[in-house]
Amino acid sequence: MHLVCLDLEGVLLPEFWIAVAERTGIPELRRTTREEPDYDVLMRYRLDLLDRHNLTLPAIHEAIADLEPLPGAWELTQWLLAHTRLIILSDTFLAFARPMMAKLGHPTLFCHDLVVDGKGRVLDYQLRQQDQKRRAVEAFRALNFFVIAAGDSYNDLSMLRAADRAILFRPTEKFAGDNADLPVARTHAELQAGIAQYF
């Protein structure tokens, strides 16, 4: 029994925070897990920026509302949903990602939550659990699933290493070099082919 676990941003959708940075003119929000592997450090940095610039959740929703799946992502998710089980494991937040799931055919999403006040100010974030991607993969394997995982950055590494098979998707040169034992897919068609070989 196969199960595929994919990261969301950078694999199926553009990076939400980069879109917010471009829309709001706050370039510091472009920083992602590709540059900062410590998720808590990154999120504290982002929360401070939101507070300093009075950027609310509605403004973030407006900034990402027009995002569309990456070219080939829709076709990949539809193929996966038709041929196996698909779980999206993301370090994003439900408040950001829920509206986007319809654009991908409503795959199952495991992610985190934001703490937002009545005025839409983002006060904090709540992890679903520490290292949730790895722990989800380990749980699926314990349920006797053969898990194939794909991700693009450092916060995906524990998930990739916990899976039965792993594929790097469009990694940076450094990330690929640091994990040279893992195959790399540069397009969604290559990723589909890489996954299909394990069926």
3-state SS assignment for residue 28: helix
Active site residue 117: no
Active site residue 7: yes
> Distance between CA atoms of 142 and 140, rounded to whole angstroms?
5
3-state SS assignment for residue 113: strand
3-state SS assignment for residue 172: coil
9 neighbors 15 (Cβ within 8 angstroms): yes
List CB contacts of 174: < 8 A, sequence separation 6 or more. none
Please list the active-site residues: 7, 9
